[in-house]
Amino acid sequence: MIAPNLTLRPGDTLDSYKLDALVATSGMASVFRAHDLRSGEQVAIKVPHPEVESDPTMYERFKREEEIGTRIDHPGVMKVYPNPNRTQVYMVMEWIEGRLLRQVLNEEKKVPLERTLALTKSVCEALAFLHTNGVVHRDLKPENIIVGPNDEIHLIDFGIAANAGSRRLTFAHFSQSMGTPDYISPEQVRGKRGDARSDIYALGVMLYEMLTGVVPFSGPNPFAVMNDRLLNQPVPPSKREESITPQVQEIIYRALERDPKNRYASAREMAHDLANPEEVGVVSRPEAETWETHKSPGLRRTLGLAALVLIPLTIFLVLVLVARHH
């Protein structure tokens, strides 16, 4: 039997795969660069930590990522190869040369306008394919996008992706199934199940971030960040970066609409505007003029929202404490 996955090291063999290097690790899994001893092909091997296999929620995430990666065939989505004869739980994925978009942002701070539009359009095209095939990513962020040597993109990490019609999200499963606070949509903050328009919102946040160097909403903790997007308007992106044209700013605003029905109806529609910004009609937006006067909501409203957040959080913490004493 193969040794437990935390003892795996570069140089070890896992079935027919030789592990060459550890390239990433997280609370959920370790990822190795490896090669197939049968074909010589370079691959990525994702091995869940033992506690993931014993946690039903986390294990479901791992299996969901594998199922989607095996089923979806698009150049903008990392492929997962079928591996029915493995001797333990792990995932074999295509090896992709490149950097995470997060690394690009950390190094460059701001991405030039034309390059940003091209990268975002490529993400839109991959999302359009996913959405057409009934898959919503739900955790789109720079850490889940690989940028290749020629700026080709690949979406990764479908652990909390959902098939159309899947069960709605709950507060108690926030950390596993609601996404990342900086990129989560307003409807997901309210506990609703994210759909394709939630991915468009997250992409709007990234478009804003790539061009300005900062995310549109901020706060000292995740709950403050989420409340900020429910109550306030972001600083108009053109005030942070002068190269942003009125048409590109309009694209950002359409993607960041608080109400999903006012956003782009599809990733394909957003891709068209990114490819043809000169065709985008610019509308009068009060939020672009009055954003400063709406940055400080009334104390009563703030406290009311804080109470709504703290009630389920308190119940959750109590349940955890009770469980630990049994």
Architecture per CATH, 5-94: 2-Layer Sandwich (3.30)
> 């057409």: which residue's tokens?
132
Q: What Å distances lie between residue 122 and 74, 131, 252, 268, 296, CA to CA?
A: 12, 14, 16, 10, 36
Given a contact cutoff of 8 angstroms between Cβ atoms, the answer to whether 183 and 205 are in contact is: yes
Q: Where are the domains of the chain?
A: 5-94, 99-295
pLDDT per residue rounded down to tens, the chain (326 residues): 333 445 789 999 999 999 999 998 877 888 999 999 999 999 999 998 888 878 888 888 888 888 888 999 999 999 999 988 888 889 999 999 999 999 999 999 999 999 999 999 999 999 999 999 999 988 899 999 999 999 999 998 876 555 444 433 332 333 344 457 889 899 888 888 778 999 999 999 999 999 999 999 888 887 888 888 888 888 999 999 999 999 999 999 999 999 999 999 999 999 999 999 999 999 888 877 777 765 544 434 444 455 455 545 544 544 444 444 44
Crossing angle, helix 196-212 and helix 246-255, to 10 degrees?
140
Q: Which helix (H) or strand (E) holds 309?
A: helix 299-324
Q: Residue 4, Cβ neighbours under 10 Å: how many?
A: 12
Is-catalytic flag, 55? no
Catalytic residue among 139, 157, 199, 228: 139
> What does each C-alpha distance from 303 to 152, 227, 292, 306, 323 come to in angstroms?
45, 11, 21, 5, 30
How crowded is residue 84: how many other Cβ atoms within 10 Å of its Cβ?
4
Q: What is the CATH number of domain 99-295?
A: 1.10.510.10
Burial class (CB in 10 A: 0-12, 13-18, 19+), 281: exposed
* Inter-CA distances, 269 with 82, 163, 277, Å: 33, 21, 12
Q: What distance, in Å, lies between the first and last C-alpha atoms of the chain?
A: 33
Q: Do domains 5-94 and 99-295 have the same CATH topology?
A: no
